[in-house]
Amino acid sequence: MDDKISIIPLGGASDVTKNMYVYEYKNEILLVDCGLGFANETMLGVDLLIPDISYLKTSGKKIVGMAITHGHEDHMGALPYILPELPSFPIYATPLTAEFANSKLNEFGVTQRVQKVEFNGGELKIGSFTISFIRITHSVPDTSNIFIKTPVGNFYHGSDFKFDLTPYDGKKTEFKKISQAGDSGILCLLSDSLRSEKPGRTPSESKLTMAFEKAMEETEGKFLVTTYSSNISRLNQVIHAAARLNRKICFIGRSVIKCKEIAQSMGYMNIPKGMEVEVKNLRNFKDKDLVLVVAGSQGQENSALTRIVSDEFKEIKLRPADTIVFSAEAIPGNEISVNSLIDEIAKKGARAIYSEVSDEFHVSGHGASEDLMLMMSLTRPQNVMPIGGTYRHMVAYKALAKRQGIDDKNIFVGGNGQEVVFSKNGSHFGRRLNLKNVYVDQISGEEVESFVLMDRQKIAKEGVVVVICEVEQETGQIVDNPNIIARGFPSQDAQDLSKNLSRELRLALSRKKEPVTNWIYIRRLIGEVSEKHIFKAFRKHPMVLPIVIEV
């Protein structure tokens, strides 16, 4: 039987976040990335989503290691939730990525650590796999693509990237290494596809510094910037512009402070002495002398920016002379919360600058169509597999691949859970794993079952009715009037419900004349009578919770 490699996306293929990929050879598994997803407004009480690792637990195969491509939450944020569920194995990442990951693991009390690998560190042998890290430009320093050698063939894992020829930190893409990987033969290129619909190339980060400086000059009050906390280059650009205009800088919000401290400790960020001020000392400076770097670019409910805009941050008050720059795009699913926050800023009379009104303050970290086709030209793969995008992005990537002369049968658009099998004799789709959504409550860190989410959605849409009945054991009759608590109903409807449902319940139980021997039946009867009455009277299906007290 021919040797084969299976690739199974557990997340990140047909969705933008939750990136996690299984490379499987015989009895060995190599994992690439371990990312979070973010809840939308329909996922009530849920903060995060994580990949479904049921297959890793039940396959009986050995996980020989993991490589992490870069320090964004959607590629490494699930580590503290997933590592405790799996046997221990080595994890590798470039220096800043490893520091971000280890800080997160330490925060959650997870003892396992990510090992730092330098870009010039050569190859790493991990079981039957040999991997090397190739520097690529993205919106966080130390981003890498992973070149993976296997007994079957070579794979190029081209996670999030763009080709920025003038990156702000001066650390350019290692084009020579990408080309050398192509020269060695690539069985399959897995490529970022998020901006495959966009024509042309993604602009360079370097153009943003002058835009920040100009906007600061025009602002008579405080200048606030919000971006992804891990976008160290963007933070450095804001620091540079503020320094030229003699403004003090203050970092606000736990995530941005943590990333700033890590970047400083590793030499990725240098703040001139005396320039940074703490929140408690802001009152000692005039608004026109301040730049605030604030966490909350996605409109998160409890973020520093949301609290400032809502007047819940006692040290900072938003004023009409202030400017707030959103130097980040809304992650798909966050558009409503971001737009709501911008509306609140407008009500305060402050100036908000965001992508819809100006493209001078943010450029994507993902390559547009010409970047993606250049990657195909450099690697010259036999097969391609788009990742890191929604289904429409993967389909758009397929069209780009065809333009590069790649045959339809060598382009694998499968989605999460869809195995693709590669051998020296050809490649094809394999089995499909039945992956489930895994929801996490960030406060408790516990998984939230899907039925719990359904209950929450039902309560939010239809309301909840608690029916408390005292039932006499000897006769099976209701003692006194039931206590009915209705939530999600207009007050008059709630009053009518309490009065009329009491009568219905008394009537239903009046047919019983003997002692109660099955309390489960009584509870179910009260629930069924209540549900039928509520639907008949109000055309609603609330959650009904019958509570029976034995008397």
Do residues 25 and 89 make contact, with C-beta atoms less than 8 angstroms apart?
Answer: no
Q: For helices 208-218 and 232-244, what crossing angle results, to 10°?
A: 50
Residue 19 CA to residue 15 CA, distance in Å, equals: 8
Do residues 87 and 111 make contact, with C-beta atoms less than 8 angstroms apart?
Answer: no
Query: Based on the number of CB atoms within 10 Å of its own CB, is 482 exposed (0-12), middle (13-18) or buried (19 or more)?
Result: buried
Picking from 95, 177, 91, the residue whose alpha carbon sits closest to that of residue 136 is 177
Torsion of CA 63, 67, 72, 78, to 10 degrees: 10
Q: Which residues of 448-472 are buried (b: 16+ CB within 10 A; e: fewer)?
A: beeeebeebeeeeebbbbebebbbe
Residue 439 CA to residue 449 CA, distance in Å, equals: 7
Other Cβ atoms less than 10 A from the Cβ of 265: the count is 10
CA 437: distance to chain centroid? 13
Residue 488 CA to residue 542 CA, distance in Å, equals: 9
SS3 label, residue 432: strand
Instruction: Return the structure tokens found at 370.
Output: 């010409």
Picking from 452, 507, 421, the residue whose alpha carbon sits closest to that of residue 23 is 421
Do residues 293 and 235 make contact, with C-beta atoms less than 8 angstroms apart?
Answer: yes
SS3 label, residue 239: helix
CA 123: distance to chain centroid? 30
Residue 472 CA to residue 335 CA, distance in Å, equals: 55
Residues in contact with 366: Cβ distance below 8 Å, sequence separation at least 6, in sequence order: 138, 160, 161, 162, 192, 194, 195, 202, 388
Going by their DSSP bridges, the two strands 188-192 and 223-226 should be labelled as unpaired
Residues marked active site are found at 192, 366
Do residues 436 and 52 make contact, with C-beta atoms less than 8 angstroms apart?
Answer: yes
Q: For helices 175-183 and 369-379, what crossing angle results, to 10°?
A: 50
Residues in contact with 188: Cβ distance below 8 Å, sequence separation at least 6, in sequence order: 7, 153, 155, 156, 381, 382, 383, 384, 385, 412, 420, 422, 427
